[in-house]
Every structure is written in C-alpha cells, then in structure tokens.
C-alpha cells in the first residue's frame, strides 16, 4: 500500500460527491488497528495443505522499482492534506503538520515501489505489487482527476501511467454501485467493480473481479496505473453500501471476493504459494506464482506462521487471514532485543496462549518501502547510531557515514535473520542539517515508529534481503536469505 494499511471505504462517495467531503472523511475515519483484546486464535499453522518442497517455477514475472520523486508533475495539493490521524499520532507529526515545509512533506512521501506488468483483457499496464492490500485496480481512460484545493483538474496531473481503455468484459458486480479507496496520505480513488480476464506471469485468470477507477486524487509516478493486491479475500474493500458503520472486513455489506491470486490457485493454475525477490542494488526482482523465482539463495530458511489478527474491530478477522501477518519471536536491534520489553494489551497473550508479552504482530507489506515498528524498538535502536541522529518530517535520520547497528528479526526456532546495512540507513535519501554549526550529511533510517498497538509492518527494506515465500496453502512465511 502506498503508505497505507488503511484503505478505508468512505461514506457517500459516489462519483458525483464533492471531493472536499472525501478529504474530511479520510481524516475522520477510525484508524485501522490491531485489536489484541479479542483476538482468539486457533494455533494451526499447517492446517490447510501439505507442505511441498520449494521449487523454482517458470511462472515468474520480472519486477522493477520505480521511484516517485515526490511529484514533479504530481498533484501537489495531495501532499498538503492533513495526514491521517494514525500518522499524525503515531509518527509524531502532529506538531509538525503546520510547520513542516512543503519540501519536507514531499520528502516524507518520496518512495520506491516494486511494479510488474499485468494484462487486463490484453491491455498491458504496470501495477504496484502490494501484499498489504487485496484489490486489484487500474485507472480507466475517462477518469477524472481531482485536486482537493481546486476540484477537477487535467487528468495528467494525477500522473498515472497508461490508462485502461475500455470497460469490464463480463460486466459489473451486481449489488455494488461503486467503490472508494482512501489512502492515508490523502490519496483517493473511486470507481466501479466488475469482471475481466487478468494475465500475469503467463497465467490467465478468467473472469476475475477487478476495480476500474474513474476518479482519483493521486500523486502518481507516471508509470503505474494501479495496484495488484495480493492479500486475502477478507482484505478486499468492496461494499454494497457506503455506510461507514459497515466499512470493515466481513461486515454485512462487505462484498468479499477472491482476489487475483486466490482465483489463480482456485482455478487450478498454480499451487497456493507465491514468492517475491527484490534486489535493492539493481532495483529489479521477481514475483513468482506456484513456487520460487530463478534467484540464487541460501538453502536454509527461517519460517513463521501466518496468523489471523483482529483488525478494525472485525470478528471475521479473528479466525480468517486478512493480510500476511506473523508474530516474530522477537527483534534484535543493536545491543538490545525485545526479550525484556512488554507490548500491547496484556490480554493479547491470553488469547495467543503460545506467545509472550514481548512479542507483537507484523504484516509483510511489499507496498511499503520502509518498516513501521513500535517506538520502544525504533527509538532505542536509532539512538545507537552515531550522533547527530535527528527526527525530521516524522522520520529518523543519521549521518550517512554512521556505523549501522545490526537489526534482525527472530523467527521460529529462535533463528534470527538480519537486514543489510543498505536497507537500514538508506543512502539514496539524504538531507543536510546543521549540527553544532557544521553541515552534516544525513541519510534516512528506514524504520518508522508508530502507535503502540500498531499496525506494524515489515516493508521492502526487510523483503529486499530474502526470497520471501507466501505459502497461503500452509499459512506460513518462509524467508531464504539471498546469496
């Protein structure tokens, strides 16, 4: 997701609704959070399949990285929107919202995304690979681009890639008049749900439900035209009503459907597993369906069960997976680790009777370039960099030549896997600040802190280090370190 776990449908957003309303609704929506309180979990990581050996498959599509440079052509006023409350609270931006310069806000939003080509009814489009959402959508030819300050503007200002020319091959979804996805950085798309054929990595999924956006508030990269949502059916965001009361997974108005990957294995095209490999240096990678991509990796892997975690006060999410959520044994950060920390509502551990208070859940999210973790991890970690470490625009920065303290995630069996220094202190994001009267080159530390009760994410700066296997059939993640 584009800085969002929070793809919240909005009230009353049929295409004719004024966008001012959309913006208000975005800021008022209740944030999506983990609720540990009632997250009763049957602990059965291997309940749904027979685990096979991971094999390299030919159904792999090359991924590449695009950088959204903060919108040379982009819709500028999106960046000026008040941040979603979660961001304001969790990322300590409340105090900065009124004072931060536009330049700093732009920097906050600059980011990389991994993209792949897909074909919808034989038209090729580039889409963001997002394990943190479930809908696949592209922008439609006659879409309207909105600026929250001035209303409708030329579609070029939304900076999408090529648009989809046409409409649904198999018609619209009955019972769903429109959809609306609002992103917590102020972006928004709305449109219709219908069916078409979707081809990716040489596999054609017939009569797949997709979304076509016909309106947008978007700060695009000029390349991508939408998203490929690889999350679970419960994470889809299509509702038969725009009543926000029911804007949660599994609600009476939720029109849950099988996303592209779910349809792919249900149609018998592949085994229920996909994998992602990224290369931080070349900006290239692979998305493979049914097995592993053709990438050199260590044989030895670390594993963790994918577990349902209650989100958004939704009972359905307690027992059915929504996203790729794991509960690591712990985190190692510099000289410290999480073993003596306590996270979350204490009743969480009562529900998860196989975990300790020092554990917390994280979502594997390929749509986020960075990772979002509790402040009680991020702050003591960044303080182990050489001074002057600073917090600007809600992000932590350290001297670019700092020694990077180790950062690792401990998974099943006590196996700790580490991130490369280049994924922690990101040399491509720099700024100069004055320290004791002297200019210092600072680089971005790719960990953001967030609300104490999450949601927490491991983004691309984690995924860059592994062939990551999303084994849906066995509800298990496997991470093979890259060679």
- Residues forming contacts to ligand NAG in the complex (CB under 6 A) are 15, 42-43, 94-95, 97-98, 123-125, 140-142, 144, 162-165, 167, 214, 279, 281-282, 295-296, 330, 332, 336-337, 339-341, 353, 386, 399, 401-403, 410, 416, 482-483
Nearer to ligand NAG, 215 or 258 (CB): 215
Q: Minimum Å distance from CB 167 to ligand NAG?
A: 4
* Strand bridging mode 137-147 / 226-229: antiparallel
The rounded distance, in Å, linking the Cα atoms of 388 and 407 is 19
Give the pair of three-digit tokens for residue 186. 């102020």
State the CB neighbour count (10 A cutoff) for residue 58. Answer: 12
Nearer to ligand NAG, 251 or 317 (CB): 317
Q: Minimum Å distance from CB 374 to ligand NAG?
A: 12
> On the CB side of 473, how many CA atoms lie within 13 Å of its CA?
20
Nearer to ligand NAG, 42 or 268 (CB): 42
Q: Minimum Å distance from CB 178 to ligand NAG?
A: 10
State the CB neighbour count (10 A cutoff) for residue 224. Answer: 25
φ, ψ of residue 25 in degrees (nearest 5): -60, -35
End-to-end CA distance of the chain: 28
Q: Minimum Å distance from CB 329 to ligand NAG?
A: 8
Q: Minimum Å distance from CB 245 to ligand NAG?
A: 27
Nearer to ligand NAG, 101 or 142 (CB): 142
The rounded distance, in Å, linking the Cα atoms of 3 and 23 is 16
Q: Minimum Å distance from CB 483 to ligand NAG?
A: 6
The rounded distance, in Å, linking the Cα atoms of 67 and 221 is 7
358's CB contacts (< 8 A; 6+ apart) are 330, 338, 339, 340, 341, 342, 343
Nearer to ligand NAG, 256 or 280 (CB): 280
Rg of the chain over all Cα atoms, to the nearest angstrom = 21
> On the CB side of 134, how many CA atoms lie within 13 Å of its CA?
22
Q: Minimum Å distance from CB 414 to ligand NAG?
A: 7
How far lies 406's CA from each of 332, 403, 421, in Å?
A: 7, 9, 8
Q: Minimum Å distance from CB 19 to ligand NAG?
A: 14
Q: Minimum Å distance from CB 265 to ligand NAG?
A: 26
Q: Is 483 exposed, middle or buried (0-12, 13-18, 19+ CB in 10 A)?
A: exposed
Give the pair of three-digit tokens for residue 129. 């690979």
Nearer to ligand NAG, 118 or 270 (CB): 118
Nearer to ligand NAG, 49 or 408 (CB): 408
Q: Is 12 exposed, middle or buried (0-12, 13-18, 19+ CB in 10 A)?
A: middle
The rounded distance, in Å, linking the Cα atoms of 472 and 291 is 11
Nearer to ligand NAG, 72 or 353 (CB): 353
Contact 134, 233 (CB under 8 A): yes
Q: Minimum Å distance from CB 231 to ligand NAG?
A: 24
Q: Minimum Å distance from CB 443 to ligand NAG?
A: 11
* Coil/strand/helix, residue 28: helix
Nearer to ligand NAG, 269 or 411 (CB): 411
The rounded distance, in Å, linking the Cα atoms of 235 and 256 is 8
Nearer to ligand NAG, 267 or 337 (CB): 337
Residue from 293, 13, 257, 12 nearest 137 by CA:
257
Give the pair of three-digit tokens for residue 306. 């994918």
Nearer to ligand NAG, 50 or 438 (CB): 438
């Amino acid at each position: 997701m584009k800085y969002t776990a929070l793809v919240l449908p909005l009230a009353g957003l049929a295409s004719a609704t004024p966008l001012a309303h959309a913006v208000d609704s975005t800021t008022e929506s209740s944030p999506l959070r983990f609720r540990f309180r009632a997250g009763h979990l049957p602990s059965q990581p291997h309940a749904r399949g027979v685990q096979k050996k991971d094999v390299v498959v030919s159904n792999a599509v090359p991924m590449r990285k695009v950088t959204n440079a903060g919108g040379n052509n982009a819709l500028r006023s999106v960046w000026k929107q008040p941040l979603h409350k979660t961001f304001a609270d969790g990322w300590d931006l409340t105090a900065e919202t009124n004072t931060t310069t536009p330049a700093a806000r732009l920097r906050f939003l600059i980011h990389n995304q991994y993209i792949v080509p897909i074909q919808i009814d034989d038209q090729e489009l580039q889409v963001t690979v997002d394990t943190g959402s479930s809908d696949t959508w592209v922008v439609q030819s006659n879409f309207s681009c909105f600026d929250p300050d001035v209303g409708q503007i030329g579609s070029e200002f939304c900076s999408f890639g090529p648009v989809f020319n046409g409409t649904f091959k198999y018609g619209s979804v009955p019972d769903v008049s429109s959809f609306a996805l609002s992103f917590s950085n102020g972006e928004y798309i709305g449109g219709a749900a219908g069916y078409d054929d979707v081809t990716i990595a040489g596999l054609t999924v017939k009569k797949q439900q997709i979304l076509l956006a016909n309106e947008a508030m978007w700060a695009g990269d000029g390349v991508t035209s939408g998203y490929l949502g690889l999350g679970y059916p419960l994470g889809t965001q299509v509702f038969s009503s725009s009543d926000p009361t029911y804007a949660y997974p599994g609600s009476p108005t939720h029109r849950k459907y099988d996303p592209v990957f779910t349809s792919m294995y249900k149609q018998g095209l592949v085994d229920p597993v996909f994998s992602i490999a990224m290369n931080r240096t070349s900006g290239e990678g692979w998305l493979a369906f049914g097995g592993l991509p053709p990438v050199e990796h260590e044989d030895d892997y670390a594993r963790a069960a994918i577990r349902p975690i209650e989100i958004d006060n939704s009972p359905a999410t307690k027992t059915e997976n929504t996203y790729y959520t794991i509960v690591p044994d712990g985190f190692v950060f510099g000289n410290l680790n999480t073993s003596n920390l306590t996270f979350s509502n204490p009743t969480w551990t009562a529900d998860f009777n196989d975990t300790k208070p020092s554990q917390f859940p994280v979502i594997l999210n390929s749509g986020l370039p960075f990772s979002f973790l509790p402040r009680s991890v991020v702050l003591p970690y960044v303080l182990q960099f050489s001074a002057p470490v600073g917090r600007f625009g809600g992000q932590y920065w350290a001297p670019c030549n700092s020694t990077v303290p180790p950062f690792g995630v401990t998974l099943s069996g006590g196996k700790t896997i580490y991130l490369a220094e280049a994924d922690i202190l990101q040399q491509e994001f720099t700024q100069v600040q004055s320290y004791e009267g002297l200019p210092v080159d600072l680089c971005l530390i790719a960990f953001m802190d967030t609300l104490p009760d999450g949601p927490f994410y491991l983004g691309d700066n984690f995924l860059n280090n592994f062939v990551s296997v999303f084994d849906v059939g066995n509800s298990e993640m496997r991470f093979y370190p890259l060679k």
